[in-house]
Amino acid sequence: MQTKYFSPSINIQRDQNQEFHYISTRNGEKAFQKITSAFSGGTKSFNIIGAYGSGKSAFILALDKVLNNKEKFFSNPFKEDFNSFETTFIIGKYSSFKDVFCETFKLNSTNNIFKDLQKTITQKIKAKVGQLIVVDEFGKFLEYAAKESPEDELYFIQQLAEFANTPGLPFLFITTLHQPFEDYALSLSKSQKNEWDKVKGRLVEISFNEPVEQLLFLASERIIQKSFLCHVKEAHQKDLFNIIQSADVFPMRDYFTFDFAKKLFPFDILSASIAMVAFQRYGQNERSLFSFLESEDYLGINDFTKGEEYFHIPHIYKYLKYNFHSLLNSRFNQDSAKWKALDEALQRAESVFDEEYKNASQILITIGLLSILGRQGQKISKDFLNLYSQLALGIYKAKTIIEILESKQLIRYRKFSQCYVLFKGTDFDLNTELDLAEDQVSKDFAVVHQLQQHFNFPIVPAKRIFFEWGTPRYFVYEITENPICIIPEGQVDGYINLIFNEFINKEEIKLFSGKCGEAILHGYFNNANDLKKQLIEIEKIQIVKNRCIDDAIAIAELDVYLNVSKEQLNKSFQASFFGEESNVSWYFNGTQKHFENAREMNLFLSEICREIYAGTPILRNELMNREKVSGTISSAKNKLIHRILEFENETGLSFDANRFPPEKTIYLTLLHETGIHQRKDENWFLGKPTEKSFTKLWVASEQFLDDCAAASRKLNEFINILKAKPFKLKQGFIDFWVPIFLIAKQKHFAFYELDTFIPQLTADSLEVAMKQTQKYRINTFDLNEKRLNIFNRYRYFLNLIEETAPDSDTFVETIKPFLVFYKNLVPFTKQTKQLSKEALRLRDAISLATDPEKVFFEDIPSALGFILNDFTDDQKIEDFSITLRAATQELSGTFPNLVNRIEEVISKTVRSKNIVFPENKLLLQKRFEKLKKERIHTKLRVLLQRINTPLEDRQSWINSIATAIFGKSLDQFSDDDELNFQTLFPKKIYELDNLTDISKNDIDKENEEVLKLEITSFVKGVQNNLVRLPKYKSEEIAKLEQKIIPLLNSKDRQANIALLIRLLQKEIENE
């Protein structure tokens, strides 16, 4: 691109009517084609994004001239449809785009802008005139919108873009930006960013970043136009081109031909490419290029018009240092350290050279700039430097200067990369040190150990199987001396086993792979000599590093060598896997394989997965078909399980048709599309999938339940089946599959936490079970003829309908009355031993019940004296029913019988003959009606209150009497309590009788204390004595008591009592 006068930047408004020369590029052609083809398809809003100086504005001017048939930079597809386009250019500024737009088109912003605009454009249609609106520097409007009025401005841009896309309207709207649209929205809220993205989607994005090769092409075109003289012989130019070619230093992919090189003079093709890379990296692409080509700047190319010498690499260095000095030395420049190193090398050279300094500095600059801006893998050898210096730089003693630079450690030749580099110098002769280290490295070492130290192999995804089946499969490398056959676990689905062992036979590996049966690709290295040499070289570097550990410059140089050596080892290692020169023999399943490239090998990894994991269902849902799911998907799983349990019988699990939360997406993929959630008549249920790829998984899951009939199995055993071949499901999928399958089959098995039966599956119980799988077990109901007979006898006993194929619901329905029966038994019945052995064992069987199936078919029959084989005999079955009914009736009657026995004790205490309630109550009340309760002890007072209670209910009254004696209700009695009641109750009644006798005497309770004494012996029988003690003697008696107590033997309580009784008896006899 070029105007008649030169300007470093195109201004589309200023330069619209200027004489204009544009060089068409691939980038421009692609952009033009995309705009015109989209316009024809009805899309007419575009956003061109490109870096500064990439030619966006020049392209806009070229587009304008082509659409108006003024130039033929591109082929105009609209010249038959439109005579011209009326073009309006708007330059961005920090202001309201809506206001600027209305001002430009003289529209009233309060009116319907687009209605007025459409009227204007429609009037032009008859004249076959279109409307082109271009907003250059659109980012400034966006900056204003983001800070001042995001909602209003964005809405207007959206409206304008949608208006431009109005069918049949010849309206083309284009904006240009220096950075992506969304980068202007960084300071906005989340909702505002969402709106920003919405508006961005209305504009078709066109990338406009020029590749560096395009800058080289533009340079050649402009240099031809400028007609630089060239007096350098073609043979000389050819020699220079050849040495550049042989050194492989040209940094680009395209345009490397001798004919193209001639177009670039006074550049040589290498200096031209280095300049273009510099303009792209440090400048503004085309703008910097054309500023360089057109200006008369100091040190510029226009000083080389005589055609006698090249504008070589050192000239580029001078130009860059003069025009980009601040940037090159800025800390933001990624190459600043390298530029600084070059400057330091030039300064050091001054102290080494006098007359030859200029030539030496040019050679240093050439090495330095090629290191900074050249390509990886270039070979800056002594021959190249010598010949390039002679042919391009005009230095004829270059070889001598190079040797001096090397001897003074200003430059160093790296053997490993075949390249000269700038060098700061060290006291160590690194090449000599490396040669000496050769003798110290052991040549006899295990390749496996060394490779494991230096390699960190990437995980290899099997891409095709993931694309086709949806389950990600990952292979990892294992370097060993002998072939391995290990089961992949967790995220690892297979192994690439690299075997290094010169003593093993390849036929052995082939046979081993045939027997392995796991997802393992075995690779035998036929010759590891090259790898050994590279490993030795790495070990040499480590040895030298240990010697010069205090020399930072030497260490830095050795680190570079070490990194390159490791890279070369890696390349050599992996290059030996494929192609005609493959050094690895590959084996799988007893068959040798060969791979031309990495793609073929990766495809075969998918084939391995297809064979080994043939049972894996097709499930293309990355949200859940992975080893670890996100917190969002884990929450979605819980919500889905809740919904299945609640809405299994409803269409689509009763999801809202207009909303798509993650759990619904998973439902559609896993249950709906697979046919697991299916309809029969009017009901929906979970059943066998219709999707064929799920059949094996469903059958294996059912087989696990079938196996649980013989003996219960833990939940983790089920999960282990799913984790193993032929399925090896990912944990994320398992976490969905297991609960859903258990819900689908919940009526066909019993579920236990340890030994506790879980009668009903819930979302919470399933979630806990999946986290603690070893605690939970499954037992499938297995009813043969004998078990079915006894099961239906239980149901007959409970007045329930007989079943031919009981499920968990009927088991629960049948066991529940027994559990309720036991629960309702009073504590006395649950612990008394006063039962028949059948009743005792039945009670224990029910109380310890955890497994309904075991209780019905083992525990209860055994408790009643029966075995399972008895239930083929009708008489035995009838006997079982009779015994069961008798035992349950005995348990039911245990507590009423206790009440009867307690009443019998009460009645016999009142009278010798047996009497019943309420007569026994009335007799006791009459017996103690004169006894004043306020005069007696607390415990006896309570008993007296219970005797006189107004309760009319027999059991309640008897219970109150028992509670008064023992402090606990009758249902809490133990067998010992009942036995003790038989002696303790009469004793308490006797005490009340004694108190009643005392109450009959005329006692002055204010002045005397009355005691009744009764002594019984074989000789004299019963002796009663009533002692009335005046209260004034109490003090005298207390003193006498203090004298007697010390005389008693404190160690023999019985002797003390006997002594006191004897003394009492003598006192009574002496009265």
Note whether 825 and 677 are same-domain residues: no
Residue 620 lies in a domain: no
Kindly state the average pLDDT of the residues 900-918: 84
Stated as kind and residue range, the H or E segment containing 711 is: none
Note whether 274 and 369 are same-domain residues: yes
In this prediction, residue 5 carries a pLDDT of 44
Q: How many domains does the chain have?
A: 7
In this prediction, residue 443 carries a pLDDT of 67
Q: How confident is the model at residue 444 (pLDDT cuts 50, 70, 90)?
A: low
Q: Which of 1024, 1018, 973, 982 is nearest to 1001 (CA)?
A: 1024
Residue 987 lies in a domain: yes
Note whether 645 and 765 are same-domain residues: yes
> Would you give the DSSP letter of residue 601?
H
Residue 925 lies in a domain: yes
Average pLDDT, the chain: 84
Contacts of 321 (CB under 8 A, 6+ apart): 328
Kindly state the average pLDDT of the residues 301-328: 86
Q: What is the pTM of this model?
A: 0.56
Note whether 339 and 475 are same-domain residues: no
Highest mean pLDDT among 79-93, 215-229, 352-366, 418-432 belongs to 352-366
Asked if 797 and 818 count as a contact pair (C-beta separation under 8 A), the reply is: no
- Whether cis (ω within 30° of 0) applies to the bond prior to 661 is no
SS3 breakdown of the chain: % helix, strand, coil, rounded to 5? 55, 10, 35
Highest mean pLDDT among 69-83, 286-300, 506-520 belongs to 506-520
Asked if 251 and 375 count as a contact pair (C-beta separation under 8 A), the reply is: yes
The CB-side HSE value for 521 (13 A sphere, CA atoms) comes to: 26
The CB-side HSE value for 906 (13 A sphere, CA atoms) comes to: 29
d(C-alpha 208, C-alpha 32), whole Å: 11
Residue 476 lies in a domain: yes
Note whether 330 and 391 are same-domain residues: yes
Note whether 1018 and 993 are same-domain residues: no
Helix (H), strand (E), coil (C) string for 858-923: HHHHHHCCCCHHHHHCHHHHHHHHHHHHHHHHHHHHHHHHHHHHHHHHHHHHHCCCCCCCCHHHHH
d(C-alpha 710, C-alpha 943), whole Å: 61
Stated as kind and residue range, the H or E segment containing 964 is: helix 954-966
Tokens representing residue 370 in the block: 């090629």
Note whether 202 and 220 are same-domain residues: no
Residue 430 lies in a domain: no
Q: Which of 827, 830, 849 is nearest to 840 (CA)?
A: 830
Residue type (1 letter), 256: F
Note whether 308 and 355 are same-domain residues: yes
- % of residues, the chain, pLDDT over 90: 29
In this prediction, residue 977 carries a pLDDT of 93
In this prediction, residue 221 carries a pLDDT of 82
Q: How confident is the model at residue 445 (pLDDT cuts 50, 70, 90)?
A: low
Three-class SS state of 607: helix
Q: How confident is the model at residue 51 (pLDDT cuts 50, 70, 90)?
A: confident
Tokens representing residue 735 in the block: 């976490």
Q: How confident is the model at residue 688 (pLDDT cuts 50, 70, 90)?
A: very high
In this prediction, residue 574 carries a pLDDT of 77
Phi first, then psi: what are they for 764, rounded to 5°?
Answer: -70, -45
In this prediction, residue 717 carries a pLDDT of 95
d(C-alpha 744, C-alpha 921), whole Å: 63
pLDDT tens across 859-870, in order?
A: 888 888 888 777
d(C-alpha 644, C-alpha 758), whole Å: 19
pLDDT tens across 753-791, in order?
A: 887 778 788 999 999 999 999 999 998 766 656 667 777
CA pseudo-torsion sign 290, 295, 298, 303 = positive
Q: How confident is the model at residue 302 (pLDDT cuts 50, 70, 90)?
A: confident
Q: Which residue has the higher pLDDT, 471 or 1043?
A: 471
> Would you give the DSSP letter of residue 693?
G
Rounded to whole angstroms, the maximal C-alpha distance in the chain is 167
Block residue for tokens 């980012």: 139
pLDDT of 795 above 60: yes
Q: Which residue has the higher pLDDT, 151 or 1033?
A: 151
Helix (H), strand (E), coil (C) string for 735-778: HHHHHHHHHHCHHHEEEEECCEEECCCCHHHHHHHHHCHHHEEE
In this prediction, residue 322 carries a pLDDT of 84
Kindly state the average pLDDT of the residues 392-400: 91
CA angle (574 as vertex; 569, 579 as ends), nearest 5: 130
Lowest mean pLDDT among 2-6, 427-431, 938-942: 2-6
Domain end point (choices 380, 403, 425): 425
CA angle (673 as vertex; 668, 675 as ends), nearest 5: 115
Note whether 392 and 271 are same-domain residues: yes
Lowest mean pLDDT among 1-5, 82-86, 464-468, 1010-1014: 1-5
Residue 305 lies in a domain: yes
Asked if 962 and 902 count as a contact pair (C-beta separation under 8 A), the reply is: yes
d(C-alpha 95, C-alpha 156), whole Å: 14
Note whether 875 and 943 are same-domain residues: no
In this prediction, residue 803 carries a pLDDT of 60
d(C-alpha 612, C-alpha 623), whole Å: 24
Kindly state the average pLDDT of the residues 718-722: 95
pLDDT of 1019 above 60: no
In this prediction, residue 184 carries a pLDDT of 76
Three-class SS state of 1018: coil
pLDDT of 66 above 90: no
pLDDT of 417 above 80: no
pLDDT tens across 959-990, in order?
A: 999 999 988 999 999 999 999 999 999 888 88
Going from the C-alpha of 383 to that of each of 35, 267, 269, 390, 949, the distances in angstroms are: 51, 21, 18, 11, 127
Note whether 286 and 349 are same-domain residues: yes
Note whether 585 and 695 are same-domain residues: no
Strands 1021-1030 and 584-588: unpaired
Kindly state the average pLDDT of the residues 328-351: 85
Domain end point (choices 425, 452, 468): 425
Domain end point (choices 721, 751, 780): 780
In this prediction, residue 4 carries a pLDDT of 43
pLDDT of 450 above 80: no
Residue 910 lies in a domain: no
Q: Which domain holds residue 955?
A: 916-1000
Long-range contacts of 822-828, Cβ-Cβ distance < 8 Å, separation of 24 or more: 822/846, 822/847, 825/891, 825/894, 825/895, 826/895, 826/971, 826/972, 827/971, 827/972, 828/894, 828/895, 828/898, 828/970, 828/971, 828/972, 828/973, 828/974
Lowest mean pLDDT among 614-623, 994-1003, 1055-1064: 994-1003
pLDDT of 9 above 70: no
Residue 911 lies in a domain: no
Tell me the residue ranges of DSSP E strands in 661-748: 677-680, 683-686, 713-714
Q: Residue 145 maps to which CATH number?
A: 3.40.50.300
In this prediction, residue 1012 carries a pLDDT of 66
Asked if 393 and 312 count as a contact pair (C-beta separation under 8 A), the reply is: yes
Contacts of 416 (CB under 8 A, 6+ apart): 537, 561, 564, 565, 568
Asked if 821 and 754 count as a contact pair (C-beta separation under 8 A), the reply is: no
Block residue for tokens 């079915």: 788
pLDDT tens across 1034-1063, in order?
A: 777 888 888 888 877 767 788 888 888 888
